Amino acid sequence: MSARPDSPFSPRTVLGLVVVGGLAFLAFLWLIGAGLTGGNPNDGQASVGGKGLNGYAAMADYLERRGYAVSRVQSLASLKQPGLLILTPPADAEGKDLAEVVTRRRLIGPTLIILPKWQAMQVGQLNPAAKPGWVTLDGVQMPNWTEFYDDISLDLKPMRAGGKVASWRGLGTGGDLPSSENVLSGAGDALVPLVVGTEDGRVLAGYIDDGDYPALREAAEGYAPEPDPDTVDDTLYPLVMVFEPDLLSNQGFADAPNAVLAEALVREVLDGGDKIVAFDLTLNGYGRSQNLLTLAFTPPFLAATLCLLLAVLVIGWRAFHRFGPPLLAGRGIAFGKRALVANAAALVRRTRRLHLIGAPYADAARDRLARALALPHRLDGPATEAAIDRALAARAPDLMPFSAAAAALRAARRPADLLRAAQTLHSLERTLTR
């Protein structure tokens, strides 16, 4: 017979494999739940994730450094959070979807929309040495958002042709535009200017005059009329549109006045509210929907998830400490002996010799108690029973002496008397051995 070969893996190796595999699986689940399995927002789009000329990563970073709580929103449910929501939709966005988001949002908090203008291509496709997210501006394209504030018209034309520098002013500051050949502006009866072109007064940024917004009205420097108390809607938060994106883009943030303008614009829109700013990424194609896995890693369900993981860890640790084949408890009566005992008892009853088992049972009980009480082996039967009686009297003086119970069992003849005497003897034995 050959010996059983040893396991090729040590317990430490098995534990390492299980721990590494478990952590990798949990990390994968967390990535899926957190929505981090998608693409990189720094893909050349005009979004908060973009680090090219047309992106707004510099604005978000600047506001964070100025003490604002800035977040990047990737779910529609997060659009319901309080604070300022900044939308950077692409030129081909659906006007209906944009109108639905803005309509719901205006009952929750202020909204700022930065319109797109540039057509960009990532430089990495042409120059591998370029940093990720860098772009070249290949042209311009006005957004065509039908069914979204159709009463506001857009215009894209030069402000100062011939390579001359075009400038802007508003909110107590002013500066130059990076490009004067293609300047995007807006016009409409309900539009109140906040930032205008210095040369011709075209509206580069403004807010919709459909409510009472004291901070914005004061920042408009005389452009805003006094609201009519009978027609003003006090339930709406302000909606600000920045038509010229280079006022707030990374390209514009190369000049300090643009950073000052961005903070002033955010401050006036919030109007003394909490310094909370959320940049939307759902309209740029980076939205994710809520699912059970996402909820499992977000409060308040995160606590239940951690408890479940802790329980799994405890079970795994317990299983590791029982490494190898489990040890089975031995049987109280070995195979075959139960049948032997049953056959012997049936034989005693059939031969009507039940009265003969009383004395052996009493002797067996006496021997067990002698071993339990560590009595000397040299004692005979009566002396042993006398010693047991003394021990029983010291522990339970009210009970029948062991010698009397043993004598009653030896003298019993009927089954009922045998059973009663055996139960009494067993009770005394338990009293002494507990």
- pLDDT at residue 38, as a whole number: 55
- What's the CA gap between 62 and 26, in Å, rounded? 35
- pLDDT at residue 334, as a whole number: 59
DSSP states along 143-210: ---TTSSTTSEEEEE-SS-TTPPPEEEETTEEEE-S-SSSEEEEE-TTEEEEEEETTT--EEEEEE-S
Estimate the crossing angle of helix 415-433 against helix 381-395, to 10 degrees.
Answer: 60
The 10s digit of each residue's pLDDT in 258-292 is 999 999 999 999 998 899 999 998 888 776 555 66
- What's the CA gap between 431 and 330, in Å, rounded? 27
Residue type, 398: D
- Confidence band, pLDDT 50/70/90 cuts, at residue 344: confident
- Confidence band, pLDDT 50/70/90 cuts, at residue 300: confident
- What's the CA gap between 318 and 320, in Å, rounded? 5
Helix (H) or strand (E) segment spanning residue 136? strand 135-140
Q: What is the mean pLDDT of residues 55-82?
A: 90
Strand pairing report for 84-87 and 111-114: parallel
The 10s digit of each residue's pLDDT in 369-404 is 888 888 888 888 888 889 888 988 888 888 888 888
Least confident of 22-26, 242-246, 260-264, 406-410: 22-26
C-beta of residue 156 within 8 angstroms of C-beta of residue 140: yes
Closest CA to 44 of 58, 55, 56: 55
- Confidence band, pLDDT 50/70/90 cuts, at residue 76: confident
- pLDDT at residue 243, as a whole number: 96
Q: What is the mean pLDDT of residues 351-367?
A: 83
- Confidence band, pLDDT 50/70/90 cuts, at residue 3: very low
- Confidence band, pLDDT 50/70/90 cuts, at residue 39: low
Tell me, rounded to whole angstroms, the distance of Cα 5 from its chain centroid: 45
- What's the CA gap between 45 and 195, in Å, rounded? 24
pLDDT at position 322 over 70: no
DSSP states along 276-340: EEEEE-IIIII-----HHHHHTSTTHHHHHHHHHHHHHHHHHHHHHT-SSPPPPPPSS-TTHHHH
Residue 230 tokens read as: 């009978």
Residue type, 270: L
- What's the CA gap between 231 and 172, in Å, rounded? 30
- pLDDT at residue 185, as a whole number: 95
Closest CA to 381 of 367, 368, 401, 402: 367
pLDDT at position 328 over 80: no
Sign of torsion over alpha carbons 14, 17, 23, 28: negative
Tell me, rounded to whole angstroms, the distance of Cα 67 from its chain centroid: 26
DSSP, collapsed to helix, strand or coil, labels residue 116 as: coil
Tell me, rounded to whole angstroms, the distance of Cα 2 from its chain centroid: 53
CA distances (Å), 428 to each of 45, 342, 385, 401, in order?
Answer: 90, 26, 12, 8
- pLDDT at residue 417, as a whole number: 84
Question: What's phi and psi for 246, nearest 5 deg?
Answer: -70, -10
pLDDT at position 14 over 80: no
Q: What percent of the chain has pLDDT over 70?
A: 86
CA distances (Å), 182 to each of 56, 72, 87, 126, 247, in order?
Answer: 19, 29, 22, 25, 13
Q: What structural domains and CATH numbers belong to the chain?
A: 38-289 (3.40.50), 291-322 (no CATH), 337-433 (no CATH)
C-beta of residue 177 within 8 angstroms of C-beta of residue 166: yes
CA distances (Å), 47 to each of 60, 102, 252, 368, 390, in order?
Answer: 10, 17, 14, 88, 95
pLDDT at position 77 over 80: no
Q: What is the mean pLDDT of residues 219-233?
A: 73
- pLDDT at residue 61, as a whole number: 95
The 10s digit of each residue's pLDDT in 115-152 is 999 998 888 766 777 788 788 888 899 998 999 999 99
CA distances (Å), 158 to each of 201, 214, 265, 418, in order?
Answer: 13, 33, 24, 119
The 10s digit of each residue's pLDDT in 187-199 is 999 899 999 999 8
Q: What percent of the chain has pLDDT over 90?
A: 33
Closest CA to 116 of 50, 162, 170: 50
Helix (H) or strand (E) segment spanning residue 24? helix 11-34
- The reported pTM is 0.61
- pLDDT at residue 2, as a whole number: 46
Mean of all residue pLDDT scores within the chain: 84
- pLDDT at residue 30, as a whole number: 67
- pLDDT at residue 261, as a whole number: 96
Least confident of 29-33, 172-176, 223-227, 297-301: 29-33
